Structure 1
Amino acid sequence: MYHQIGEPAPKGTPYRGLTVHPKDFTRQMAWMSRLGYRGLSMRDLLPYLKGEAKGKVFGITFDDGYRNVLQNALPVLTHYGFTSTNYFVVHQLDGGNVWDYAKGIPHSGLMSLDEMKQWAHAGQEVGSHTLDHVHLPELSPEAAHHQIAHSKAELERLLGFEVSAFCYPYGDETPDIRAMAQKAGYSNATTTVRGLARPDDTLFGLPRVTVARSTNIVRFLQKCLTRLEDKRRRD
């Protein structure tokens, strides 16, 4: 689970750890490739999660649709032949991380429609992160359903193809919200629960490994490749 790939904000900036330096991201992907692993989008990972395929694979996801991911991560992914999923906030295409401003987190630009299409045309997956990056459990069932279902429909209208991956903003979800995602037609949904995916995980509550600015390469490999690192706790 990544967010931004770029130059981290100045020291003292809230949540600066969610921005991974491009050199670190490149090193991480290089090592996974060197070890024989193939990075996959959620769409491409599904057969492995369902037990229909076996191989040395790992999922790569980016939350929010930041422009610096297109600029700094896409060339690296293309170089190694990896695919990944980026979860877009539909009403903030060509906008910014408005949900962060009250926390003192600086503005960072999000991909425009044309840039999102560029991302998709490069073989990467577009997923949904709702219409407005909301805390779904705090909404009425009707409003939560609207955020989940209409973000899928709107992305599909804009792109002209199916959108099947969903990510719960802030990792906030409940059994009812998981059911909404499934009913809306998604094939999978990711959380912010830390851990490696297990065969008995529901496809609508998949954990992820958090990669932060401070995650050095040794720690990165420990987190991604060892079951001992499966702590199963929410960020």
Structure 2
Amino acid sequence: MAAPDLKRRAPVPWVAMYHSVSDCSDDPYRITVTPERLEKQLTWLRRRGLRGVSMAELLAARARGEGRDLVGLTFDDGYADFLTGALPVLRRQGCNATLFVLPGRLGGDNAWDPLGPRKPLLTADGIRRAAGEGVEIGSHGLTHVDLTRAEDSTLKAETVESRAALAELLGTEVDGFCYPYGTVDRRAVDAVGEAGYSYACAIDPGPLNGPHALPRVHVGQDDHTVRLFLKYRLHRLRRRPVEGLR
């Protein structure tokens, strides 16, 4: 079998970044969409022949030279409202997603957001329930630390130990990582690769490229049809092709 051509480049896949799905009346960081807004956004995708899937499904399809009708749906932080706000909408729309969680904060809250409001995070049982529904579970680190500012010991814990903790919790390997705050540099990318993840999501990785520095597009409550269209079209125009993807 021929070795994969790691130098090959392909148009960057469109990956949407969500966080909390619940009431957004108190949302200083603009990380929340209502279930109704999410439903309309996924309906917009489906009407254009696109389907939201997990990163695992998206990247597997791209590796086969397929999947141009797929978009990645990711949910950061592992909020408990994923089960009540997001999952029912995903099921109605025939979509799937990747949920990036924090095994060092199981059942805790988003203490890293000083302005609040406090939002509960999934427990271990909640994460297992999401996985049992077919949702891909990935690591968001242990405790939501900016990896570009972390000491070596912390960087290792946030990458290696979070993967091990999730593997024990789920009874399966964990392939995906998501950089907290979206911040990334070469040191963080190398640490994630060395920890054994096959891919990692950022927001805007700048000059970094490859499966461990995948860009995403923030999707929020104010993203109606016109804004979604512009974000979808401009994403490929503004992003460089990704090395190692077909």
Aligned to 2:71: 58
Post-superposition Cα deviations, 1:57-113, rounded to whole Å, max 9, x if no partner, equal 10000100011121111011112221111110111111110111x2x1210011111
Aligned to 1:130: 141
Post-superposition Cα deviations, 1:37-66, rounded to whole Å, max 9, x if no partner, equal 111111111134446324301000010001
Tell me if the contact between 1:194 and 1:231 (Cα under 8 Å) persists in the aligned partners.
Answer: no
Q: Map 1:122-161 onto structure 2 (within 5 A).
A: 122-161=133-172
Are residue 42 (structure 1) and residue 50 (structure 2) matched? no
Aligned to 1:162: 173
Aligned to 1:82: 95
Aligned pairs, how many? 223
Q: Map 1:61-210 onto structure 2 (within 5 A).
A: 61-100=74-113, 102=114, 104-193=115-204, 201-210=209-218
The structure richer in helix per residue is 1
Tell me if the contact between 1:66 and 1:108 (Cα under 8 Å) persists in the aligned partners.
Answer: yes
Are residue 2 (structure 1) and residue 43 (structure 2) matched? no
Change in Cα spacing, 1:211 to 1:50, as seen in structure 2 (3 Å) is same
* CA distance in 2: counterparts of 1:116 and 1:48, whole angstroms: 25
Return 5+ residue gaps in structure 1 as ranges. Answer: none
Q: Secondary structure at the match of 2:164?
A: helix
The letter for the 1-side match of 2:153 is E
* CA distance in 2: counterparts of 1:14 and 1:96, whole angstroms: 16
Post-superposition Cα deviations, 1:170-195, rounded to whole Å, max 9, x if no partner, equal 11221121011111111100112189
Report which structure shows greater RCO (CA 8 Å, sep ≥6). 2
Are residue 30 (structure 1) and residue 46 (structure 2) matched? no
* CA distance in 2: counterparts of 1:150 and 1:111, whole angstroms: 18
* CA distance in 1: counterparts of 2:165 and 2:204, whole angstroms: 27
The letter for the 1-side match of 2:21 is I
* CA distance in 2: counterparts of 1:156 and 1:131, whole angstroms: 13
The TM-score normalised by the length of structure 1 is: 0.88
Return 5+ residue gaps in structure 2 as ranges. Answer: 1-16, 241-246
Q: Secondary structure at the match of 1:166?
A: strand
The TM-score normalised by the length of structure 2 is: 0.84
Aligned to 1:14: 28
- Sequence identity, in percent? 36
Tell me if the contact between 2:184 and 2:205 (Cα under 8 Å) persists in the aligned partners.
Answer: no
Aligned to 2:9: none
Tell me if the contact between 2:176 and 2:198 (Cα under 8 Å) persists in the aligned partners.
Answer: yes
